[in-house]
Amino acid sequence: MSEYVFEDYSDKYKEELNTWSNDPEIKKFAFNGLFSDEWQYYLDSKDYKVNEDAFCKVIKLNNELIGAMIVLGINTIYPININPIIINPKLRGCGHGTKALNQFINNLDKIIPNNNQKIEVGFIKGNIGCQKMLEKCGFKYKSTHPDGDYLYYEKNLK
């Protein structure tokens, strides 16, 4: 079985990831704009330190871009937060999200600095693909946002 590679986002991935941003599912469930703009928010933020408590990783398999994820809150105060995780629209439904997320969790300390006990993922209610992926990876329902449109799932790491 081939291993997924988690590589730091760079501008060489910008064009391809931004084309995924036009996918209706990504627009509906991940963000409404460009992936590069989503990451730029964290680059510009005074609340996050890139590559300390905010990471953007691309997911590759056999040198093909499979997905991308933004990972936040790498400290003991808050759970690790993944938001969003997106998969190449042409490859959606093939199990890449589940396999990559499991590999990410199992190799977390090698991919990002980690002093945390939990991972939390928030997603828009109705995103059944994300919900199934999280449940297959051992995440459990935690709560619903007060507006009722956003679900939080979590997984204990240790």
pTM of the model: 0.91
The domain in which residue 71 lies consists of 4-116
pLDDT at 158: 75
Characterize 30-52 residue by residue with b for buried, 16 or more Cβ atoms within 10 angstroms of its Cβ, and e for exposed: bbeebbbebbeebeeeeebeeee
Average pLDDT over residues 100-110: 92
Number of domains in the chain: 1
What CATH number is given to the structural domain containing 64? 3.40.630.30
Is 128 a member of any domain?
Answer: no
pLDDT tier for residue 90 given thresholds of 50, 70 and 90: very high
Segment 2-33, tens digit of pLDDT: 799 999 999 999 999 999 989 999 988 888 88
pLDDT at 75: 66
Is 122 a member of any domain?
Answer: no
Segment 137-153, tens digit of pLDDT: 999 999 999 999 999 99
